[in-house]
Amino acid sequence: MKVLAVLYKGGQHAKDEPRMYGCLENELGLRPWLESLGHTYVTTDSKEGADSVLDKEIVDADIVITTPFHPGYINRERIEKAKNLRLLVTAGVGSDHIDLEYANKRKITVAEVTGSNVTSVAEHVVMTMLTLVRNFVPAHEQIVANEWDVAAVAKNSFDLENKVVATIGAGRIGQLVLRRLNGFDCKELLYYDYQALPADVEKKLNCRRVESLEEMVAQADVVTINCPLHEHTKGLVNKQLLSKFKKGSWLVNTARGAICVKEDVANALKSGQIRGYGGDVWFPQPAPANHPWRSMRNQYGGGNAMTPHMSGTSIDAQVRYANGTKNIIETFLSGSKNYRPQDLIVIDGHYATRSYGNDKK
């Protein structure tokens, strides 16, 4: 069989840290294993345009591996010409870069390494909250610029204690964020999701469900997005919803960039409707040089805590999703279909999760 993987270049960094399995040079650690079984393994970072290596090699590939961090967009056109394609694996979590409807039509299995990023992303969320609320970035920039003006940065620095924090989405990551926040003595922890958490889980997390998204964001000092990207969440955070936010609140997004309308977020930050925005997800990725989230600031010159898409690719997470990718491929090669249920997105022409699509089996 032929396995094709689209990964980001690591360069010298891949040599510095051999556990950077998610980069092109270290190839998820799969080459020795796959080649020992007689399979062909092609890896590339070339994914844009008809002349990309992805477009050329997908034609006869049986398995394609992509990542959320350097996504090879597997659209209908690419699937149509991949006549042998039977398995799409996301090395990480989040398969919104794949045309899941057409994968279903072709009865191609789509799987991801569920849980591999949960701790890493939840930690990044809490870090970003603190970075924004405490106004860390402008304060650090002062020091790098050999400046010292305590008043300039203290005037926009607050405590997370006694604040209302709300999550859009209360799945694995959302729940862990709520759990981590319990140590900060927040005033209240809220969540919005299509289904309520069990009462014992709500009690353990010390959180309360709000059934109206508009009502929830109006109460929150900090809002964090922890839901998948699909047709119902694309552009969810737009000008209209942002107008319902508590004025001067902070917004954190480590889910997917396209859940937010980029121009609307930048305008809300500039106007003071929100005090800060931070996260690590963009659309498209890599983000173009003129993406407004690169340079946007609030009225005090701060409020921007953006990073490249890195929250779910810590070294520890890379070890987890490299191992998980191997396990998924190993199951596929065995013909058993004995996948971990939580890893499956679509299989046998049906959705296997309620997180995506309308056919939620």
Burial-class residue 20 by CB neighbours within 10 Å (0-12, 13-18, 19+).
buried
Catalytic residue among 124, 172, 256, 320: 256
Helix (H) or strand (E) holding 63: strand 63-66
Helix (H) or strand (E) holding 139: helix 136-144
Q: Is 46 helix (H, G, I), strand (E, B) or coil?
A: coil
Catalytic residue among 135, 309, 318, 320: 309
How far is the C-alpha of 68 from the C-alpha of 208, rounded, in Å? 31
CA–CA distances in Å: residue 345 to residues 99, 110, 150, 342: 12, 5, 50, 8
Q: Are 109 and 328 in contact (CB under 8 A)?
A: no
CA–CA distances in Å: residue 194 to residues 1, 233, 353, 355: 40, 12, 14, 10
Give the β-pairing of 304-306 and 188-192.
Answer: unpaired
- Catalytic-residue membership of 298: no
Catalytic residue among 26, 104, 117, 298: 117
- Catalytic-residue membership of 240: no
Phi, psi of 317 (to 5 degrees): -65, -35
- Our measurement of the distance from residue 335's CA atom to the centroid of its chain's CA atoms, rounded to an integer in Å, reads 30
- Catalytic-residue membership of 299: no
Phi, psi of 13 (to 5 degrees): -65, -35
Give the β-pairing of 344-347 and 350-351.
Answer: antiparallel
Catalytic residue among 135, 285, 304, 318: 285
- Catalytic-residue membership of 354: no
Active site residues per annotation: 117, 256, 285, 309
